Amino acid sequence: MSLAAGFSGTARRLRQLHEDPAVVARWQAWTGPLLSRLTPPRRRALLALGALYVVVRRPLKEMAPAVDVRAPAGPLAGALVVLLCLVVVAAVYLAARRFASLPATVRRRPQLWLHGGFWAIVVLGWLVPDSGSVVALALSGLVLALAFLLWRMGYLLLSGQRGRMAGTRFSDHLLYLYPAYGGSGVPYGKGLDHLARHEATSEETLARSQLAGLKLLALAAIYHGLLALMAGLVYAESRGPWSVYGLRVPRVEALLPLGARAPWATAWSALYAGLVWDVLKLAARGHEVIGVLRLFGFNVFRNTYKPLLAPSLVEFWNRYYYYFKEMLVDFFFFPTYVRCFRGRPALRMLAATLAAAEFGNLYYHIVFNDTFLLTLDLAGLRPWLEARAFYCLLLGLGVYVSMRREQQRRGAAAAATPASMPTRIRRIAGVWTFLALIGIWADASSATFGQRVEFFVSLFGLR
């Protein structure tokens, strides 16, 4: 056997470690007493206990960057925010629990009512003078905390709408509403419905889930290492010994204000490097979160899975930020697809795709624009909103075109023949280039829309 073949076989076994019966049996032997005690109710209880800490910690963490929690009214306002968050979550839980008895208008559009309630609180915060009082601070903190809870409460209402609340307790839903395992405004693992479908129910399945979780945590450490290397060797930003040899590629946000004055080769290098950096950063954090979830027996999908090897944009979209994509599909794509243009399949798909990748994507980022939520700063919002809206439009159209192309490839007879390596590389390069280019309008930079257009045009030598 050649060295390459042996290495390939070892790598394959490591990737499938959690599927190896011998390894699973050994893990069960090592952790037998612990596995027998970690029944599903106990694992859920542990995560619910962790959620109680997050219930207190998360609102205060959200408040700290935006409002003065050290003011005389700060501690009292923080306690009030925690209490109000619990009241809101409990109210949504009761609404989901008794979904069938809600008014018909609420049952038809539960998500609209949820988001309408959120924006009513935001508007109330705009109307209350920023005086540093307990009420003003509490409203600011509540708005920021509810922005984090909003989509999680959406999944809670979906459970009620689907009639899947029976047999669940409030503590079961706390584990994803206030995730002790971490995450962002996007609910990693989705709601309890999805988590329960992937929950280990035997010692063997728990052992497999935990081994898979350990593998993801190891990969997260590797990705963090790659980020450190990239920071030194590409950006020359770290203090490691390798930064001396760094290429000193600038960040895209530093080049955008230059517009057409950005050097051509430097601009292209920054775009591709920025795409790789964003993927590695998201993968590292996502593997940590999903790794912990798997340790607790929830063997859910990864958040990021080899998106840089995707040969099409729609495949990248599925692999890059899986739970963000799923959230947009659940709350925007499917509702639009079910209700609109039923007699026109192409237009129906276009409308649903734009509803998710354009409108839903943009709306999600507006909800997490702290400055706008707290101050109604429309002048400050406009440059960011113009760029982000254009990015979402390009992404939505790109995903739609990619979906249509994939449908045509599957329908063609030639689709049965695997693409050649040069063809696959060309497609991957096309995905990288498209995403790098539209990322010009997604970058969190102070550059104006015009400067971004000038930067884009300069990439092709048109100045």
DSSP-assigned states of every residue in 264-305: HHHHHHHHHHHHHHHHHHHHHHHHHHHHHHHHTTB-PPPS--
Please report whether residue 294 resides in a domain. Answer: yes
Whether the per-residue pLDDT at 244 is higher than 80: the answer is: no
Same structural domain for residues 219 and 86?
no
If pLDDT is split at 50, 70 and 90, which confidence band does 25 have?
A: confident
Note the pLDDT of residue 64.
62
d(CA 462, CA 215): 47
Mean pLDDT of 403-416: 72
Note the pLDDT of residue 7.
43
Closest residue by Cα to residue 97 from 113, 116, 110: 110
Closest residue by Cα to residue 434 from 401, 389, 386, 388: 401
Whether the per-residue pLDDT at 268 is higher than 80: the answer is: yes
d(CA 440, CA 456): 7
**Top-confidence residue, 37 or 57:** 37
**What are the angstrom distances between the C-alpha of 311 and each of 27, 159, 172, 400, 431?**
37, 35, 39, 15, 7
Please report whether residue 341 resides in a domain. Answer: yes
Same structural domain for residues 276 and 423?
yes
Please report whether residue 6 resides in a domain. Answer: no
Closest residue by Cα to residue 63 from 50, 53, 73, 49: 73
Please report whether residue 190 resides in a domain. Answer: no
The pLDDT tens digits for 208-224 are 999 999 999 999 999 99
Calculate what percentage of the chain has a pLDDT beyond 90.
Answer: 62
**Top-confidence residue, 61 or 441:** 441
Please report whether residue 4 resides in a domain. Answer: no
Same structural domain for residues 176 and 210?
no
d(CA 35, CA 33): 6
Note the pLDDT of residue 4.
47
If pLDDT is split at 50, 70 and 90, which confidence band does 455 have?
A: very high
If pLDDT is split at 50, 70 and 90, which confidence band does 22 have?
A: confident
Closest residue by Cα to residue 235 from 221, 252, 222, 223: 252
Mean pLDDT of 250-274: 90
Please report whether residue 327 resides in a domain. Answer: yes
Instruction: Specify the range with the lowest mean pLDDT, choosing from 45-59, 170-184, 241-255, 309-323.
Output: 241-255
If pLDDT is split at 50, 70 and 90, which confidence band does 331 have?
A: very high
Cβ–Cβ < 8 Å for 286, 375: no
Note the pLDDT of residue 445.
78
If pLDDT is split at 50, 70 and 90, which confidence band does 417 have?
A: low
Whether the per-residue pLDDT at 150 is higher than 90: the answer is: yes
Same structural domain for residues 158 and 275?
no
Note the pLDDT of residue 130.
75
Mean pLDDT of 412-424: 70
Please report whether residue 463 resides in a domain. Answer: no
* Structure-block tokens of residue 424: 């696959």
Q: Which range is most confident: 254-268, 301-315, 410-424?
A: 301-315
Phi, psi of 16 (to 5 degrees): -105, 30
Beta bridge partners of 199: 298
Same structural domain for residues 141 and 230?
no
d(CA 355, CA 361): 8
Q: Report helix, strand and coil shares of the chain as percent, to nearest 5.
A: 75, 0, 25
Cβ–Cβ < 8 Å for 448, 245: no
The Cβ-side half-sphere exposure at 267, using a 13 Å CA radius, reads 22
Same structural domain for residues 375 and 229?
yes
Q: How many domains does the chain have?
A: 2
Note the pLDDT of residue 21.
82
Mean pLDDT of 429-434: 97
Please report whether residue 85 resides in a domain. Answer: yes
Note the pLDDT of residue 217.
97
Cβ–Cβ < 8 Å for 264, 463: no
Range of the domain at 408: 206-458
Burial 240-268 (b: 16+ CB within 10 A, else e): eeebeebeebbebeebbebbeebeeeebe
DSSP 2-56: -HHHHHHHHHHHHHTGGG-HHHHHHHHHHHHHHHHH--HHHHHHHHHHHHHHHHH
Whether the per-residue pLDDT at 154 is higher than 70: the answer is: yes
Q: What angle do CA 346, 347, 351 make, to 5 degrees?
A: 120
Share the mean pLDDT of the chain.
Answer: 88
The pLDDT tens digits for 339-385 are 988 889 999 999 999 999 999 999 999 999 988 888 888 888 899 99
Note the pLDDT of residue 461.
78
Same structural domain for residues 174 and 257?
no
Same structural domain for residues 385 and 255?
yes
Answer left, alpha or beta for residue 461, where phi above 0 means left and psi between -120 and 50 means alpha: left
Mean pLDDT of 307-327: 96
Whether the per-residue pLDDT at 112 is higher than 70: the answer is: yes
